[in-house]
Structure 1
């Protein structure tokens, strides 16, 4: 049976998005989180006000460049990988595009994209997740990935 991994990203803006942070949570409990520094002037007002203040809490999460991010991410994926493919679940197509750019082209063949289908049910379960976890923050890539995994595991 394929391993399920929930993916979320935070990025600069909807037009010409640039990765700021990426979070992945495996159904087996392993987590990956990394951040890249981007100049605030490249970010939308929403990102400057909501996302950027959540960054920098874990100095070990900061990657100096895309190469370091790619190396860390591919290493993590290979460490947790079992014999079966991994279904990478996401709720926004830009998340997959930024993940693909982060791991490099082509995406490893063991990473299978799985867009979220039932958005209405997902939203209800996310509401429950945030209610149960008030210490976590929406628009933090790792926290959002945890919420996404919660919303798909309860089905």
Structure 2
């Protein structure tokens, strides 16, 4: 009788643990973070391009870095340069497949953008919690800087 009681208790405990386990957070927080996702430069086309290049725009030239393939998805940076100064940074391509990607990148990309404008180079720090995106951002940023002949 003691074995049956122990077996029954163990089975019930296992079933309760299985049903209480949360497997995914996809979709959690999507509505509240989607509004702060990074945008393309003013007057620019948010459609990504696959290679480095430049195009004219009012206020300077825009250079698009190569697409950096990361574990969570592609990252691409475009910069607007006036004279020898970076005047704007946009991220037309970044991981946004699920709510967690959107949450991380809505926080990380504005920080990376501001660091780029402050440093005027690719010598910037990665954002904690967004290391993979930061590494892809820096790789694509360096490609755009090379296309603009800046270091």
TM-score w.r.t. structure 2 length? 0.29
TM-score when scaled to structure 1? Answer: 0.28
Higher RCO structure (Cα 8 Å, ≥6 apart): 1
Which structure is larger by alpha-carbon Rg, 1 or 2?
2
